[in-house]
């Protein structure tokens, strides 16, 4: 098929605005699936994706459509909407020429709609604005169209009014995809260059690469070279997702499909790499992607120490299909052997934890998530630390830098006061305020990632009665006055409870932390001191009282010395127990570190 009859597009939107439902409806309308095979969230194959109603992994599907007697090949790449999977969206857009920008007509433009629209514009894509869910009683398509015009600059006349669930307006949208989106450039005579935009691991066939052919032709049996790693492979199978995998003999310029070439490990394939012909290689590779940057780190320990090998095997399996997740062995005096894991964000962490418990039946003890910091040492070296335990001696630190993000919040105008109060508490600086409609405001802040990564979104939702949405983008690292707080339980520092905080609220945060720890750790047979230290200096203390047994209850009559003798014996026993006894710290105690406020 000539490139003029190929259309490659993606759908970008805020989470829950109907991307997957539009994809389902397009598959049904083009006859890619029959009514009998059809079900909701057809492209979301993971149980977790269905339960949470979100897309986690991008997926690609090829549809055939006849318009005015001419057959068209439409390649659609579904993308996630959540901020944690931002990098999946940018990868999918690089394989397309056009995008549908979907806005829920009852919700209006949200924070991630704006972020994903900018991504599509930066990628140079042709954009078709779509207002979905126009048949809902709460829908306000005119208001939503005005917001699209104000913020994103598309005329409200350009917006397509659809309801993906009922099929209203979808025929016109499908026609617009064919007529308005550009065809790929015809580069069939040039040397082969194909972009790997995703990959996953199959236990029987090895790595399956999702590819978009930019120039030349890819054929079964061809000897190919990955330009980034200089490795050679023979193509054993090519195919397309329709939406099931269907093998084909070749993929031409502009086409999207999958490639299998006996690649044994996902580590051998870099997403963003360029495939070329080994005998006739291209001169330059395609521009790839920046590798996904892990920003949240947490320690995972098995609840039962005997589960350590099982946990290691489970992490290896999870890492096979998720290149943005990493793990390294870790040992803690308090919790034993475990792993230090890196994630893109908190939702990513939650999903990995849930898959670990559900698919492998392993009980998990998890420590407080922390973000990455940069440290400039006195010798001029820049170190990246992912946990407070990696921090060098304070005397060697010349500068402490923390990650800073650009934070965008869209909210009703009545919530401005509450949001300003919350952002002030979290050390955010206001950059600009913009009214996107008479009743809704978009505010942009410069914020420390550590302050917004844990519970900020939940508190924001509470402060705005559930109406606010947020999106953030990493700007870089910036010098800050930070200190490491150590928690000593029974005079022993527990690494897993250490946190890095701003010096201005270190003491207050340490005291609140101790009060919560005192409530979370059960009483023992001996007294347990809890202390907060900065460097070597103790700045706060709480005490968990020991259980008291009345050892004198059986004594009757006699001299007072008899009673004192028994009490002294009890005191010595408690003292001995305190020196040899170990303190049992429950999982809830580690989670108390996370909470910012009571």
CATH number of the domain enclosing 335: 3.30.70.870
The pLDDT of residue 394 is above 60: yes
> What's phi and psi for 22, nearest 5 deg?
-65, -40
Nearest of 252, 279, 293, 317 to residue 62 by alpha carbon: 252
Of the candidate ranges 29-43, 356-370, 379-393, the one whose mean pLDDT is the lowest:
29-43
Is 103 within the bounds of a domain?
Answer: yes
Q: What is residue 6's predicted lDDT score, i.e. its pLDDT?
A: 94
Q: Which residues contact 580 (CB under 8 A, 6 or more apart)?
A: none
How buried is 557 (Cβ within 10 angstroms: 0-12 exposed, 13-18 middle, 19+ buried)?
Answer: exposed
- Residue by residue, DSSP assigns 325-371 as -EEEEEEETTTEEEEEEEESSHHHHHHHHHHHHHHH---EEEPPPEE
Residue 3 contacts residue 184 (beta carbons within 8 Å): yes
Among 180, 209, 231, the domain boundary falls at 180
Among 277, 306, 335, the domain boundary falls at 277
Q: How many CA atoms lie within 13 A of 156 on its CB side?
A: 13
Nearest of 356, 388, 352 to residue 371 by alpha carbon: 388
How buried is 60 (Cβ within 10 angstroms: 0-12 exposed, 13-18 middle, 19+ buried)?
Answer: buried
Is 291 within the bounds of a domain?
Answer: no
Task: Determine the Cα–Cα distance for residues 164 and 150; give it in Å rounded to an integer.
Answer: 25
Of the two residues 320 and 355, the one the predictor is more confident about is 355
The pLDDT of residue 369 is above 50: yes
The pLDDT of residue 182 is above 80: yes
How buried is 426 (Cβ within 10 angstroms: 0-12 exposed, 13-18 middle, 19+ buried)?
Answer: middle
Is 500 within the bounds of a domain?
Answer: no
Q: How many angstroms from the chain centroid is the CA of residue 284?
A: 32
Task: Determine the Cα–Cα distance for residues 141 and 148; give it in Å rounded to an integer.
Answer: 10
Residues 151, 21, single domain; the answer is yes
Q: Quick one: average pLDDT of 186-206?
A: 87
Residues 536, 578, single domain; the answer is yes
Which contiguous run of DSSP H or E holds residue 67?
Answer: strand 59-67
Identify the band that residue 504 occupies on the pLDDT scale cut at 50, 70 and 90: confident
Q: What is residue 61's predicted lDDT score, i.e. its pLDDT?
A: 87
Strands 537-544 and 193-202: unpaired
Of the candidate ranges 68-82, 150-164, 377-391, the one whose mean pLDDT is the lowest:
68-82
Between the two ends of the chain, the Cα-to-Cα distance in Å is 64
- Eight-class DSSP state of 128: E
Q: Quick one: average pLDDT of 556-576?
A: 79
Is 152 within the bounds of a domain?
Answer: yes
Is 80 within the bounds of a domain?
Answer: yes
Residues 159, 31, single domain; the answer is yes
Percent of the chain clearing pLDDT 70 (strictly above): 89
Is 488 within the bounds of a domain?
Answer: no
Task: Determine the Cα–Cα distance for residues 158 and 144; give it in Å rounded to an integer.
Answer: 13
Task: Determine the Cα–Cα distance for residues 339 and 208; give it in Å rounded to an integer.
Answer: 28
Residues 8, 122, single domain; the answer is yes
How does pLDDT run across 429-452, given as a tens digit for each residue?
A: 999 999 988 889 999 999 999 888
Of the candidate ranges 14-18, 61-65, 352-356, 576-580, the one whose mean pLDDT is the lowest:
576-580
The pLDDT of residue 73 is above 80: yes
Which contiguous run of DSSP H or E holds residue 420?
Answer: helix 416-425
The pLDDT of residue 144 is above 80: yes
CATH no. for residue 406?
Answer: 3.30.70.240
Residues 172, 198, single domain; the answer is no
The pLDDT of residue 49 is above 60: no
In terms of residue numbers, what domain contains 571?
507-592
Residues 518, 408, single domain; the answer is no
Residues 51, 145, single domain; the answer is yes
Q: What is residue 471's predicted lDDT score, i.e. its pLDDT?
A: 84
How does pLDDT run across 298-334, given as a tens digit for each residue?
A: 888 888 888 899 999 889 888 876 777 889 998 876 6
Q: What is residue 56's predicted lDDT score, i.e. its pLDDT?
A: 43
Residues 303, 406, single domain; the answer is no
Residues 424, 539, single domain; the answer is no
Q: What is residue 55's predicted lDDT score, i.e. its pLDDT?
A: 45
Of the two residues 562 and 46, the one the predictor is more confident about is 562
Identify the band that residue 289 occupies on the pLDDT scale cut at 50, 70 and 90: low
- Eight-class DSSP state of 158: G
Distances (CA, A) of 554 to 14, 74, 333, 563, 572: 71, 88, 41, 10, 19
CATH no. for residue 535?
Answer: 3.30.70.2570
Q: How many angstroms from the chain centroid is the CA of residue 49?
A: 14
Residue 258 contacts residue 211 (beta carbons within 8 Å): yes
Task: Determine the Cα–Cα distance for residues 95 and 125; give it in Å rounded to an integer.
Answer: 10
Of the candidate ranges 407-416, 433-442, 583-592, the one whose mean pLDDT is the lowest:
583-592
Binding residues: 16-21, 132-135
Q: What is residue 595's predicted lDDT score, i.e. its pLDDT?
A: 57
Of the candidate ranges 81-90, 247-256, 539-548, the one whose mean pLDDT is the lowest:
81-90
Of the two residues 173 and 388, the one the predictor is more confident about is 173
Q: Which residues contact 433 (CB under 8 A, 6 or more apart)?
A: 416, 441, 442, 443, 444
Sheet holding 245-248, edge to edge: 231-234, 223-226, 274-277, 193-202, 206-215, 256-260, 237-241, 245-248
Residue 217 contacts residue 251 (beta carbons within 8 Å): yes
Residues 401, 462, single domain; the answer is yes
Q: How many CA atoms lie within 13 A of 477 on its CB side?
A: 18
The pLDDT of residue 54 is above 70: no
The pLDDT of residue 88 is above 70: no
Q: What is residue 353's predicted lDDT score, i.e. its pLDDT?
A: 83
Task: Determine the Cα–Cα distance for residues 275 and 212; give it in Å rounded to an integer.
Answer: 10
Identify the band that residue 598 occupies on the pLDDT scale cut at 50, 70 and 90: very low
Q: What is residue 406's predicted lDDT score, i.e. its pLDDT?
A: 92
Identify the band that residue 408 occupies on the pLDDT scale cut at 50, 70 and 90: very high
Identify the band that residue 50 occupies on the pLDDT scale cut at 50, 70 and 90: very low
- Eight-class DSSP state of 267: G
Residue 191 contacts residue 282 (beta carbons within 8 Å): yes
Is 491 within the bounds of a domain?
Answer: no
Binding residues for GTP: 16-21, 132-135
Q: What is residue 433's predicted lDDT score, i.e. its pLDDT?
A: 94
Is 423 within the bounds of a domain?
Answer: yes
Q: Quick one: average pLDDT of 554-560?
A: 76
Of the two residues 342 and 592, the one the predictor is more confident about is 342
Residues 362, 388, single domain; the answer is no
Q: What is residue 48's predicted lDDT score, i.e. its pLDDT?
A: 47
Nearest of 296, 453, 427, 299 to residue 371 by alpha carbon: 296
Q: Which residues contact 550 (CB under 8 A, 6 or more apart)?
A: none
Mean pLDDT across the chain: 84
Top-confidence range, 36-45, 507-516, 564-573 = 507-516
Q: How many CA atoms lie within 13 A of 66 on its CB side?
A: 2
Sign of CA dihedral 243, 245, 248, 250: positive
The pLDDT of residue 535 is above 70: yes
- Eight-class DSSP state of 453: S
Nearest of 67, 62, 64, 57 to residue 92 by alpha carbon: 57
- Eight-class DSSP state of 287: P
Q: Check residue 198 and give left, alpha or beta (phi > 0: left; psi -120 to 50: alpha).
A: beta
Q: What is residue 131's predicted lDDT score, i.e. its pLDDT?
A: 94
Q: How many domains, the chain?
A: 5
Q: What is residue 593's predicted lDDT score, i.e. its pLDDT?
A: 63
The pLDDT of residue 398 is above 50: yes
Q: What is residue 533's predicted lDDT score, i.e. its pLDDT?
A: 92
Q: What is residue 271's predicted lDDT score, i.e. its pLDDT?
A: 78
CATH no. for residue 55?
Answer: 3.40.50.300
Residues 252, 110, single domain; the answer is no
Q: How many CA atoms lie within 13 A of 574 on its CB side?
A: 17
Of the two residues 512 and 550, the one the predictor is more confident about is 512
Question: What is the token pair recorded at 263?
Answer: 């690649």
Of the two residues 243 and 39, the one the predictor is more confident about is 243
Among 352, 371, 390, the domain boundary falls at 371
């Amino acid at each position: 098929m000539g490139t003029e009859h190929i259309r490659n597009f993606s759908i970008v939107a805020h989470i829950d605005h109907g991307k997957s439902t539009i994809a389902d409806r397009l598959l049904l309308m083009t006859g890619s699936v029959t009514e009998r095979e059809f079900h909701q969230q057809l492209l979301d194959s993971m149980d977790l994706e269905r339960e949470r109603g979100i897309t986690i992994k991008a997926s690609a599907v090829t549809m055939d459509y006849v318009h005015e007697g001419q057959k068209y090949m439409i390649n659609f790449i579904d993308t996630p909407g959540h901020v944690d999977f931002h990098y999946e969206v940018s990868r999918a857009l690089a394989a397309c020429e056009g995008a549908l920008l979907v806005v829920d007509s009852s919700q209006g433009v949200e924070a991630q709609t704006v972020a994903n629209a900018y991504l599509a514009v930066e990628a140079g894509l042709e954009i078709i604005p779509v207002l979905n869910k126009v048949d809902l009683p709460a829908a306000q398509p005119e208001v939503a169209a005005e917001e699209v015009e104000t913020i994103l600059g598309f005329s409200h006349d350009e917006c397509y009014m659809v309801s993906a669930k009922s099929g209203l307006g979808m025929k016109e949208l499908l026609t617009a995809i064919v007529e308005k989106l550009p065809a790929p450039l015809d580069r069939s005579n040039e040397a082969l260059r194909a972009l790997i935009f995703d990959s996953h691991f199959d236990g029987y066939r090895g790595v399956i690469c999702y590819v978009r052919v930019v120039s030349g032709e890819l054929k079964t049996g061809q000897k190919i070279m990955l330009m980034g790693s200089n490795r050679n492979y023979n193509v054993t199978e090519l195919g397309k997702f329709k939406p099931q995998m269907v093998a084909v003999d070749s993929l031409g310029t502009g086409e999207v499909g999958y490639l299998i070439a006996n690649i044994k490990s996902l580590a051998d394939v870099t997403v963003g790499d360029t495939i070329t012909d080994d005998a006739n290689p291209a001169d330059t590779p395609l521009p790839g992607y920046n590798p996904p940057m892990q920003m949240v780190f947490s320690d995972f320990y098995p609840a039962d120490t005997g589960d350590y090998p099982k946990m290691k095997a489970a992490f290896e399996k999870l890492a096979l299909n998720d290149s943005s997740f990493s793990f390294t062995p870790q040992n803690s005096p308090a919790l034993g052997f475990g792993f230090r894991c890196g994630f893109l964000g908190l939702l990513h962490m939650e999903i990995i934890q849930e898959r670990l418990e559900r698919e492998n039946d392993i009980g998990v003890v998890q420590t407080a998530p922390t973000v990455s910091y940069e440290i400039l040492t006195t010798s001029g070296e820049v170190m990246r630390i992912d946990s407070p335990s990696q921090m060098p001696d304070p005397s060697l630190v010349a500068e402490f830098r923390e990650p800073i993000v650009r934070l965008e919040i869209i909210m009703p105008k009545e919530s401005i006061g509450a949001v300003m109060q919350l952002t002030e508490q979290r050390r955010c600086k206001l950059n600009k305020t913009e009214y996107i409609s008479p009743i809704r405001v978009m505010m942009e802040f410069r914020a420390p990632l550590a302050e917004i990564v844990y519970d900020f979104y939940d508190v924001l939702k509470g402060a705005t009665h559930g109406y606010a949405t947020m999106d953030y983008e990493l700007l870089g690292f910036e010098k800050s006055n930070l200190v490491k707080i150590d928690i000593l339980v029974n005079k022993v520092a527990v690494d897993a409870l250490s946190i890095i905080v701003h010096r201005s609220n270190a003491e207050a945060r340490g005291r609140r932390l101790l009060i919560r720890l005192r409530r979370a750790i059960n009483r023992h047979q001996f007294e347990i001191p809890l202390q907060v230290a900065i460097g070597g200096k103790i700045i706060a203390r709480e005490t968990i009282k020991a259980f008291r047994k009345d050892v004198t209850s059986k004594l009757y009559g006699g001299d007072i010395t008899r009673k004192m003798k028994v009490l002294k014996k009890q005191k010595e026993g408690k003292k001995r127990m305190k020196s040899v006894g170990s303190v049992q710290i429950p999982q809830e105690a580690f989670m108390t570190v996370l909470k910012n406020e009571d």
